[in-house]
Structure 1
Amino acid sequence: MRGFFITFEGGEGAGKSTQIRRLQEHLQQQGHRVVVTREPGGSPGAEAVRHVLLSGAAEPFGPEMEAVLFAAARLDHVQQVIRPALEEGAVVLCDRFIDSTRAYQGTTKGLSKSFLAALERAAVGDTMPDLTVILDIDPEIGLQRASARRGEGSVDRFEKDTLAVHQKRRKAFLDIAKAEPERCVVIDASRSADAVAAYVLEAVQKAMQKRWHLAEEGGKGPGPRKHRKQKRHADV
């Protein structure tokens, strides 16, 4: 009766929050229980760490310390929010997860893939996303969007990085999608919000239907039985 775990990834200004909200509304209309959360943060303990990370307070201690703090926040988030919601059959929508660490900390000089992989295993265990939506956008456009959204507010720890660094992160997300095509789908986020939402919904419906088909063959459902019946007859 495990729920369905969807993560949204992408660079600054890709529109993750907008698309998560729109998907949440659609899924709720279909009768699903939906839990929306974010990283860093999502649980009381992780939210406390979020301020330290995004304010840049941890930056002077080096990239290893930042990565450890991200992992500690993720562990609390998974244990307190994500895993319990999935066990109750909910659809969990998370704004950033493991792939942000891979793309952001993974492009930081001095951090090895083995070090980050060990932190990832310790933080998430087997609680991996069923689907990861990567909203891809040119960093220049994304940063302009982020600046317009922020207004006069201060930039966070990661927005202030150079364009070259943001471009490396974009490539890292695309490389992740190529390496894990069964889990990841890349969507052009430069389109209108309506167009992006349509592509997101198509990807989610396809992934859910595949999962439900396999689950029914194995006798295990991803959520309440009524949800499977509703979605099986839903328009794709």
Structure 2
Amino acid sequence: MTEHTPLDAAHVRAEAEGTDLARLSFFERLAEAELHLILDDAAELGADATVTPRLVEVEGDRYALGFDLVERLEAFAGGCATVTVSGRRLAALLAHEGLGLALNLGGAPSAQLLPPDAIAWLSRTLAHEPQETDRRIAEIAPPGRLPEALLTALDGKLRLAAGLARYAYLAQAVYGDGMRSHVLGIVDPVPGGERDLARAVSEALVFSGLEAGTLDVVFLRASQPLTARLARHGLRIDLPAPAPAGPVRDPDAPPRLR
């Protein structure tokens, strides 16, 4: 018997609660998972390559076979050609071909058939790009009471963004035109990381069930005056540091014994 995985837990919760929020949480876990896809051949998946998944047909729909653990794949299919991709990339690949996903078949708690329309929805959701605006922040205020689902989703997404910034502040902002919104000030982002951070915040809104809500993102340096204002009034969220690099091994050193 294999271990229970985050996908198992999310699926069991969605089945038990039957709420939109629980189902959204399952699809969020699916997007973040590393999935092992059974192939019809041993073609490699390069940056611009295509794959030929092994398909099963159920009631007129075609499904690719994917597993979140290698042990589950091997128990179901034995030795076969496979490729490992992120759930978000797999959703895009399958949606492009009009395919569904046969997930963890063989008795896992998360075993199910995700039809093509569900995969297409996930692909569209993950492809959403945040919109850029140019507005002046006039006032900063404490964030007030926020939905627990949003705070949990933000915490989870920002943990996945380890090393892309130092920390962030969540607060309310009043703009020069009088509009009011919550704002997340992300401090000292690494160059080029802004797009991934903005997308992570956008997905946190969607998967917390608050897609209709708004949460503006602003990127700052620690030395800017707005950062100090956010520090006085906002809720601080620390981002994890990047994982330390392993020691560099001398190529001329003798091999380690196992």
TM-score (ref. length: structure 2): 0.26
> Which protein has the bigger helix share?
1
Relative contact order: is structure 1 or structure 2 higher (C-alpha 8 Å, sep ≥ 6)? 1
**Which has the higher Rg, Structure 1 or Structure 2?**
2
> Which protein has the bigger strand share?
2
TM-score (ref. length: structure 1): 0.28
